[in-house]
Amino acid sequence: MKNEVIRTLTRNAVVAAIYVVLTVATSAISFGMMQIRIAEALMLLCFFRKDYIYGLTAGCFIANLFSFMWMDIIVGTLATLIACLCICFLSFKNLFLASLYPVIANGFIIGAELTYFEVGPYWVCTGWVALGEVIAVCVIGYALFMILWREKRLLTVFGANRNLEPKW
């Protein structure tokens, strides 16, 4: 029991760290109206293990600290949390469906946030954010996790304990 708790905390800390590093390293494309946040590909980890909600949410929170906008820290993290919860509980063993939840959550929520800060009209902001999420999650993330799924031993590195035979 104690070892499993330590293992879970360690996995989530590593995921949070990877999320932050990927976001900060690609900050030129990770923030703004058209944001291709490569780290969002990690969102699909929740499809294979529910407790990655914590690491991804913490990673997003820390990464959003670099945006220096209080609203982005709160609203952006909330959008990630909502997307993670949807992936965990509404994807019905379908990885592609799971990849759409971050597109929808971030598109609408971050689109509204950007509109609040007068970056652009709501539907334009929503469309650009959603397009960035499609690239990061539906293209990069989906392809990455298809490769991981084919190499079962790689899934064991992440401690996958659910959806080991997903519908693609």
CATH number, position 39 = 1.10.1760
Query: 154 pLDDT exceeds 60?
Result: yes
The answer to whether position 163 is within a domain reads no
Query: In this model, does residue 1 exceed pLDDT 60?
Result: no
Within a domain: 43: yes
Share of the chain above pLDDT 70, in %: 98
Position 167 pLDDT exceeds 90? no
Q: In the predicted model, what is the mean pLDDT of residues 134-155?
A: 87
CA 41 to CA 133: how far, in whole Å?
A: 9
pLDDT at 23: 95
What is the rounded average pLDDT of the residues 42-68? Answer: 94
Asked whether residue 86 is domain-assigned, the answer is yes
Q: Is residue 164 part of a domain?
A: no
In a domain, 89, yes or no: yes
Count of domains for the chain: 1
Residue 162 lies in a domain: no
Q: CA 113, CA 69: separation in Å to the nearest integer?
A: 11
Q: In the predicted model, what is the mean pLDDT of the chain? A: 91
Q: Please determine, for residue 166, whether its predicted confidence score (pLDDT) is greater than 70.
A: no
The pLDDT of residue 110 is 94
pTM summary value: 0.92
**165 found inside a domain:** no
Q: Which domain holds residue 22?
A: 2-157
Which residue type, as a one-letter code, is found at position 71?
Answer: M
> Under DSSP, is residue 167 helix (H, G, I), strand (E, B) or coil?
strand
Q: Return the pLDDT at 2.
A: 74
pLDDT for 117: 87
Question: CA-to-CA distance for 58 and 41, rounded, in angstroms?
Answer: 15
Q: What is the pLDDT of residue 160?
A: 81
Does a structural domain hold residue 166?
A: no
Q: How far apart are CA 77 and CA 73, in angstroms?
A: 6
Whether residue 157 has pLDDT greater than 70: yes
